[in-house]
Amino acid sequence: MTKTVSTSKKPRKQHSPEFRSEALKLAER
């Protein structure tokens, strides 16, 4: 959960798409 917050706070990173897919998977759960 901390990773999602980090991405939200720093959407400039190129990992945003990667984390987004993970977040979507968690949300789908």
Give pLDDT tens digits for 3-29.
655 555 655 555 567 777 887 787 777
Instruction: Give the closest residue to 18 by CA, choosing from 5, 2, 29, 4.
Output: 4
Read off the amino acid at residue 27: A
Report pLDDT for 13: 58
3 state SS of 10: coil
Would you tell me how many other CB atoms lie within 10 Å of the CB of residue 20?
Answer: 13
Per-domain boundaries in the chain:
1-29
Does this model's pTM top 0.85?
Answer: no
